[in-house]
Structure 1
Amino acid sequence: MPRRPLGSGDEWVMLPDGRRFWGAFGAAGLLVHAPDAGVLLQHRAGYSHFGGTWGLPGGARHSDESAVEGAIREAAEEAGVPGDRLRVQFTSVLDLDVWTYTTVVASVEERFEPVIGDAESIALAWVPIDEVDDLPLHPGFAASWPELRAQLRAAPTLIIDAANVVGSRPDAWWKDRPGAAQRLAASLERLAARGVPAALLELPGHTWWPRLVLVLEGEAKQATIPSPSASGSAATGASAGGGSSSAGLTIELASTDGDSRIRELVSLAAEHSDSVTVVVTADRALADSVRALGARVVGPRALLELIDTLDS
């Protein structure tokens, strides 16, 4: 099996303490897991860094790609991982100032057959989660595996109290409530694609891609929110409370008041042991009631400041 041609980032980076790491623009690896198979691991070729150990398919990032793009590209090239079947969950970053390594965690509904794509792999195998520690692991992966394992099944949901978030800024939203809801939904679609900082969800890691749920009530339900195009990653479908959903954002139309629907959604999420639910609101009564149901609460300012960074 031949080695691949060098890419724009394929070179060593030397740290002040003498250690060296591969990737001029950092490196990234993909930890993909399937419910019926465990995690996909790579047995590294002897000539590679820490050859003979088991780790993640991955490698140096190109100059023009994000960590997620780099990890998925490398996993496709090295292991035949089908990128269109992945659901990216979160990233974890090792930051050494002059060099970073990003672990991209993603899931697939069903296992696929990996294919060795170059000389960097001795073997590729689906390994049951309880058997990973039995293998001679790459030191970096061994250090990060306990925390990564603990978060594999986390399924965070960010529920946005639209009326409260829109009402927290005096931008004349009261003159056009549907328009204000439409603008917020558009911003949330961009946020769903970019991901949410782990700190907002109070979760470990760097960035998460939670399910975003926007709850609309009253006049705001008249908002015209376009469905994802046919070329998008998911088709639009009816949500539980009426409305529509895409791969990242669900629109919930409250049949009565928004607070009641938010409490219902939190209660439904609490039925799943791995769920993490965060409600965005400054309404004190609503905040107290959803906390009692097990949800976390953040104020509108944190969300709006995050949206502002996207818009700028």
Structure 2
Amino acid sequence: MTLLLVDAANVVGARPDGWWRDRAGATTRLLTRLAGLPGRPVTGPDGGTVVCADVVAVVEGRARDVPAPDGVRVERATGSGDDVLAACAVRLDAQGAPVLVVTADRGLRARLPAGTRVAGPGWLLAVLDELGCAPPA
């Protein structure tokens, strides 16, 4: 079982769907979609199967106060979302939790513990689409 640690701002920004007009709304839609992942097996970024045990999403800025749906733990960054995500990854790594971080941010990837598995937003969005975890209308 793998914990999915999501850079929400990075994933939201991966599709040019007008998210910049309503960052909080776009983040809420992403979190709602992520709530469908815990307990489900998905095709991992390496082609193997990943069973998502838990989802932790780091939110920041205008999206910091969005509600957390059941099934998603939200870490609210009062400053840098990258700092919070990197600290979460370090803490989870120290606990021995198998973690898959979702971000395209190269600087953030460089701050993760050695050996941390990473996938880009495109992988996550494709998984959500494939599973039918559609954004609310």
**Superposed pair shares fold, TM > 0.5:** yes
Give the counterpart letter for 1:297 in structure 2.
Answer: V
Name 1:176's counterpart in structure 2.
22
User: Which whole-Å CA distance do the structure 2 matches of 1:271 and 1:311 have between them?
Assistant: 31
Q: Does structure 1 residue 305 correspond to structure 2 residue 126?
A: yes
* Structure 1 unaligned regions, length at least 5: 1-88, 90-155, 229-247
User: Which whole-Å CA distance do the structure 1 matches of 2:114 and 2:23 have between them?
Assistant: 29
Q: Does structure 1 residue 266 correspond to structure 2 residue 82?
A: no
Root mean square deviation of aligned Cα: 2.1
Deviations 1:16-42 (A, max 9, x none): xxxxxxxxxxxxxxxxxxxxxxxxxxx
Does the residue aligned with 2:73 lie in a helix, a strand or coil? strand
When residues 250 and 191 of structure 1 are mapped into structure 2, their CA distance, relative to the original with a 3 A threshold, is same
Q: Does structure 1 residue 197 correspond to structure 2 residue 18?
A: no
When residues 169 and 203 of structure 1 are mapped into structure 2, their CA distance, relative to the original with a 3 A threshold, is closer
Q: How many residues align?
A: 133
Query: Is the Cα–Cα contact under 8 Å of residues 216 and 252 in structure 1 kept in the other structure?
Result: yes
Q: What's the % identity of the aligned pairs?
A: 35
Give the counterpart letter for 1:257 in structure 2.
Answer: S
User: Which whole-Å CA distance do the structure 2 matches of 1:179 and 1:278 have between them?
Assistant: 25
Name 2:109's counterpart in structure 1.
287
Does the residue aligned with 2:98 lie in a helix, a strand or coil? strand
Decide which of 212, 227, 233 is 2:55's aligned counterpart.
Answer: 212
1:271 shift after superposition: 1.2
Which has more helix, going by share of residues? 2
Structure index of larger Rg: 1
Query: Is the Cα–Cα contact under 8 Å of residues 270 and 293 in structure 1 kept in the other structure?
Result: no
Q: What's the TM-score once normalised by structure 2's chain length?
A: 0.85
Give the counterpart letter for 2:64 in structure 1.
Answer: K
Query: Is the Cα–Cα contact under 8 Å of residues 177 and 220 in structure 1 kept in the other structure?
Result: yes
Name 1:13's counterpart in structure 2.
none
Q: What's the TM-score once normalised by structure 1's chain length?
A: 0.40
